[in-house]
Structure 1
């Protein structure tokens, strides 16, 4: 009867029995899931023997951009990190070139951005001011009258010596000559006050012609030093007039800029004023991290604070101080038509981080900040030993944006090599290794 009952219900128990038989017999006795997944290979390739070390192949080292650093004892300067901006030097960087007299612009020599040297022509102006024309005409008339008077004085002096003419007449002529010379000096000064140079006035006197056009030349830099990186070239940063435009005396023609030396303006906290004053007084060298591109900041060392303001901003409570920055010339080219263009590495407006040393520590273990990884209260470094990296727990005594100072407690010794860049990737790989692979059915839909 049992056999008969089993035969009648065979459609329900035969498939399940076959399935259970497959579980025990497939792949030489290896266990597989009911859905056919091989659970024996779920963790294949993982080394669960030690979760504090990791072996890296050469390809893996390249993939994570691994760089190693050697542990060594050295002196370390604790710094305060101050945000800053590169600024122009007031009264030094920009030079405004104004129209020396009223006229019409007939020619503009430079292009915007062009580099010009002192004495290089910038603009031509055709003079139209009536007062200047009248002053030139009066000056020429006085020059001609003085020539006549001088010849007359010479003639009378000759005949007076022979007794033909009384000496009184000679005295009158000489007095008239003195009056003309005084009038000429006053008119010469009037022309200079109108904007003419001494050379231009002499040219009017020599050529006996009115000056109809004046050329405006590039002035010399405000400060002249032998070590100027661009040889005292000025750059035309603005041109404010066009040919044919009428300008009055004093109107702005262009702005020339000298970026050879700039300022870094730091904005520190009020409580840092004592440290900043001490650094300025002692001439402490500070470091600037200047943002340049995606390649990372550019480090400029050996800078010094030359001025700390004597007041704190009311709203921001920031204390400003200034550092002088010598610029670097990165471009100097001349076009086929003779225009010269230069380019500077550092530009006003670039953001900067200033590192101001405030305390010096001797014989410390110092590593790059990327060499240490934090997880909760623990800090780790990864020491190289052959082709493996071992995780070491360390005590961090100080940390800033660039460096960490570790306690010299025997965890690391001078000469050890640890991962600098790529340490965080090693840390993640060790965590994955310690936790095992993800669940074999994660993400599957059956």
Structure 2
């Protein structure tokens, strides 16, 4: 009996480790499953992390799953993805960088290209050939037709003077009267052809059609058909836009002098900076402010820009030589710092924290974080930023900081 009891105890002792290991494996399964639980984040706000699908409480976007155990700090894209995202790179090197100070400006109509059309004779506007503003006018184009009783009287006076000269050709007094009458008609914008036609027809014509003295755009109409106007009364105003003023406000301490060359960036045409010479600086401060005003002119081919459009004036202030520079769009800034993307190998990109220095409208100095010869992403960097958050569920800047440390 005791022998059987002894054998049973030995069997129990030998089976105990196997039972314990099996129990450990059973209890380990839920833990492993819990570790494999999906994690979700917002592509725009990586600080939002949860273990179930939903929407971002900040922007409302759908949360996307990501692998939080993925410790790789780089992104790998194939050729089609690189082409679709328009990702291009450049090898950074040392060069020169000019600094600029930006002034807010605006485009304005050049008064030298503005013409006020006024009536040369008093009378009634019989026909107005341009009846709305914004219409382009060519030089010599008919603008309006006017009926003038005063012009008819002057024509009759001239016909009488011509008849007297013909009857008394040797009378100097009549010749002087004819010359004076002709001069009056010329002052009323009667051409030599009009006067010759009057003499040949011997008929008074009180209607005069006035052409445009120059081309431009009708900016203002001051009369309507049937309206009486006085001599010198405004009919319309034409503005030429093929050359525009550029005006900007500046403080007296800002060093700008007439004759200085500056750059002008028109809103929407940032890739086509214009060179402008400062022609005038108002010596008096503007009313109610401590600002002065500078002015220059730029050409406006094909009337691509309009008066009132915003423009920025870039004043050169300093320059640096032998510095590392990148295009402004290659540098990504957020509340946590500044970083760029570098291509480590074909199709493999990773973030890199950088420090910046002097900057102008299209380039920025890199003072730390990069070396000459690094291959840096210059277009598509923001798409890499979004793709990193989408796949990794983390801020690239935080990942870059951890990687560099």
For normalisation by structure 2, the TM-score amounts to 0.73
Other structure's SS at 1:31 match: helix
Q: Which one of the candidate residues 373, 377, 382 is aligned to 2:332? A: 373
Matched, 1:399 2:365: no
Tell me the residue number matched to 1:441. none
Distance 2:138 2:323 in 1: 52
Tell me the residue number matched to 2:226. 244
Tell me the residue number matched to 1:260. 242
Matched, 1:139 2:158: yes
Distance 1:435 1:117 in 2: 63
- 1:12-411 equivalences under 5 Å are 25=26, 29-31=28-30, 38-42=34-38, 45-46=67-68, 48-51=70-73, 53-57=74-78, 61=82, 66-90=87-111, 92-110=112-130, 112=132, 113-129=134-150, 132-150=151-169, 174=170, 177-220=171-214, 233-272=215-254, 274=255, 276-277=256-257, 280-281=258-259, 283-284=260-261, 286-292=262-268, 297-329=270-302, 344-374=303-333, 378-386=337-345, 387-407=347-367, 411=369
Q: For residues 205-243 of structure 1, what are the alpha-carbon distances to aligned partners after superposition, in whole Å with 9 as ceiling and x for unaligned?
A: 3433223211101103xxxxxxxxxxxx42333443333
User: What is the alpha-carbon root mean square deviation over aligned residues?
Assistant: 3.3
Other structure's SS at 1:101 match: coil
Distance 1:63 1:85 in 2: 37
Change over 3 Å in CA distance of 1:319–1:421 after alignment to 2: farther
Other structure's SS at 1:185 match: helix
Distance 1:240 1:252 in 2: 6
Change over 3 Å in CA distance of 1:70–1:304 after alignment to 2: farther
CA contact (8 A) 2:340 2:353 kept: yes
CA contact (8 A) 1:291 1:298 kept: no
Change over 3 Å in CA distance of 1:180–1:62 after alignment to 2: same
Tell me the residue number matched to 2:375. 417
Q: For residues 159-210 of structure 1, what are the alpha-carbon distances to aligned partners after superposition, in whole Å with 9 as ceiling and x for unaligned?
A: xxxxxxxxxxxxxxx4xx1111122222222333444344433433343322
Change over 3 Å in CA distance of 1:249–1:326 after alignment to 2: same
Distance 1:384 1:212 in 2: 82
Change over 3 Å in CA distance of 1:288–1:67 after alignment to 2: farther
Structure 2 residues not aligned, in runs of 5+: 1-21, 40-65, 396-405
Q: For residues 371-424 of structure 1, what are the alpha-carbon distances to aligned partners after superposition, in whole Å with 9 as ceiling and x for unaligned?
A: 2234667532221112322333333122345321112x6x42333221234435
Q: For residues 146-166 of structure 1, what are the alpha-carbon distances to aligned partners after superposition, in whole Å with 9 as ceiling and x for unaligned?
A: 21123xxxxxxxxxxxxxxxx
Other structure's SS at 1:379 match: strand
Change over 3 Å in CA distance of 1:401–1:179 after alignment to 2: closer
Shift of 1:106: 2.4
CA contact (8 A) 1:24 1:31 kept: no
Other structure's SS at 2:267 match: strand
For normalisation by structure 1, the TM-score amounts to 0.67
Shift of 1:260: 1.0
Structure 1 residues not aligned, in runs of 5+: 1-20, 151-173, 221-232, 330-343, 437-446
Other structure's SS at 1:316 match: coil
Distance 2:119 2:95 in 1: 61
